[in-house]
Amino acid sequence: MYTDPIMQESIKLVEAAREANIRLDPRRMTAEEKDVLLKTYHPDYRVEQFEELKIGPNKGGKVPIELAKLLQGNPRITAAQVDLSKPDYDVDVLVIGGGGAGSSAAIEAHENGANVMIVTKLRIGDANTMMAEGGIQAADKPNDSPAQHYLDAFGGGHFAAQKDLLYKLVTDAPDAIRWLSELGVEFDKAPDGTMITTHGGGTSRKRMHAAKDYSGAEIMRTLRDEVLNRNIPVVDFTSVIELIKDDKGCCAGAVLMNMETKELLVAKAKTVVLATGGAGRLHYQGFPTSNHYGATADGLVLAYRAGARLLYPETLQYHPTGAAFPAQIYGALVTEKVRSLGAMLINAKGEAFMNPLETRDVSAASIIRECSDRGNGIPTPEGFGVWLDTPMIELKHGEGTIEARIPAMMRMFGKHGIDIRKEPILIYPTLHYQNGGVKITDNGQTDIENLFAAGEVVGGIHGRNRLMGNSLLDIIVFGRNAGQQASQKAKEVSVGTLTLSHLDAFKQELKDGGIDTDVASPKLLPDYARRNNTI
């Protein structure tokens, strides 16, 4: 139920045009049109929002201002504060982050006989993986092929993907789906076992596999259950605040901090897998976010400080359809599947202003243009939004489709009195995904010996923009890979003397770079508490 008179007026226009709009297939933009649109309206192109790094492996490169502050921030500890001689944990493989990538890595490392442990900031599964709605790509249908998948992802990522990583992503995809299936993940299937697949923005074949619109939750809870079944130790409510090296310069563990008691602990490991996920809670450029509470780019900070290069850290993904109304769910994700199923983007006048299945960056820029220069947005308490005409879905596919295919969306809006089967919803771009991150080779290792990385913390697999469904895929493919490689490598590693001397070196670099900051990093959690006259 919309009570705002301007919204009500606009809905009438949307309803009146629905029959005609539904028959339209708005033409896709040309490459040139997209180029101009992105440069004019996409947040990644607002130069004043980026800052040049003064120190570290990416010195001279640009990153969002908020990230620069953390990458060039002060460590939370000094080397002298930690006694490295008596580790609290001593394992073969230390996995940092209990999301999809970390859990997959841990399962494979365990399968390979390693003594593996997970340390994670909140609970295992409090992670972006749990929130993924839409689905996971894999080219497993007869009219599709890994080469077609490669082309879609490479083009969608603006021809910037690291080719060997993308090769691995697309060729290992079907096996990733089978692995999940055999762990018990319930993919949507036809009665004969054929996977029900749909399009996502930028796909040329219908290769999006889903578990209703709880795809990530279904994958995450299954992986978590498997981790627990294997009795893999999970140290929860504990963050890594620094990586530890040995005297040979190899990664050899981490300094942990209990999030509640602030107690410091030392974990020694032969190899380490960094799987800390994304950065939405840094709220770049003041955008709302779809990410979980702990998405604060910690992994980038930890790796950067230890000397690892980042790739494309200046590219972020703004999901075109974040909820713009009501305020309680501002920024929450409205899955792309809503568009895959046929809902179109409609402006305040009731016009279908673009093809709903353009890539995410193009769609986001187009919506921002509609709400700014073109003046066709609908005012909301937080700014503007455009309509996503959800009732179209049931007109196209019949009654009951929404409840069967996107129940989470129906519930999310239903809680606020909006029935998406009958009423359209208001959306605006939301900060969604970190396209860039730590650079790895195809065996999953970063620039630092024995430090592996997987998941959203990695950069390069998708180039400068990721397609829907390729992230859930990458966390499984590269999470498994990192677990296998890290556990294999652990068999031949003998750890030298532990040291945090890189922290001293980093502090010297800060000083030499003329950086005097009071920012402590990694950030660990956003600060949303209102401080009213506190001490």
- Which residues belong to the active site? 319, 339
Residue 152 interacts with ligand FAD (CB under 6 A)?
no
Instruction: Give the number of other Cβ atoms within 10 Å of residue 341's Cβ.
Output: 21
Query: Interface with ligand FAD includes 100 (CB under 6 A)?
Result: yes
Rg (CA), the chain: 23
User: Beta strands 498-499 and 50-52: pairing type?
Assistant: unpaired
Among 51, 90, 226, 449, binds another protein (CB under 8 A): 226
Answer yes or no whether residue 338 interacts with ligand FAD by CB under 6 A: no
Binding mask 316-355 for another protein (x = CB under 8 A): -----------xxx--xx----------------------
Each residue 351-380 as x (binds ligand FAD by CB under 6 A) or -, in order, gives ------------------------------
In the bound state with ligand FAD, the residue whose beta carbon lies nearer, of 158 and 224, is 224
Q: Which is nearer to ligand FAD, 295 or 392 (CB)?
A: 295
Interface residue with another protein among 69, 141, 248, 283 (CB under 8 A) is 141
Residue 288: CB atoms within 10 A of its CB come to 20
Q: How far apart are CA 23 and CA 396, in angstroms?
A: 10
Give yes or no for residue 443 binding another protein (CB under 8 A). Answer: no
Q: Does 129 bind ligand FAD (CB under 6 A)?
A: yes
Residues 6+ apart with CB under 8 A from 85: 498
Question: Which of 469, 431, 473, 432 minimizes the C-alpha distance to 454?
Answer: 473
Q: Which residues contact 51 (CB under 8 A, 6 or more apart)?
A: 62, 63, 64, 65, 68
Q: Considering the rule CB under 8 A, would residue 151 count as an interface residue with another protein?
A: yes
| CB-nearer residue toward ligand FAD: 298 or 351 | 298
Pick the stretch among 14-22, 37-45, 510-518, 525-533 that binds another protein (CB under 8 A): 525-533
CA–CA separation, 396 vs 342, rounded Å? 7
59 close to 509: Cβ distance less than 8 angstroms: no
- The answer to the question of residue 23 lying near another protein (CB under 8 A) is no
Return the closest-CA partner of residue 313 out of 461, 464, 436, 431. Answer: 436
Q: How far apart are CA 121 and CA 113, in angstroms?
A: 25
Amino acid at residue number 251? C
Q: Rule CB under 6 A: say whether 315 interacts with ligand FAD.
A: no
Place of tokens 């200046």: 314
Q: What is the contact mask toward another protein in residues 184 to 223, using x (rule: CB under 8 A)?
A: xxxx-xxxxxxx---x----xxx-----x-x-xxx--xx-
Check binding of 135 to ligand FAD (CB under 6 A).
yes
d(CA 317, CA 437) in angstroms, rounded, equals: 13
List interacting residues with ligand FAD (CB under 6 A). Answer: 96-102, 119-122, 126-129, 131-136, 215-216, 239-240, 275-278, 290-291, 294-295, 298, 333, 433, 455-457, 468-472, 475, 522
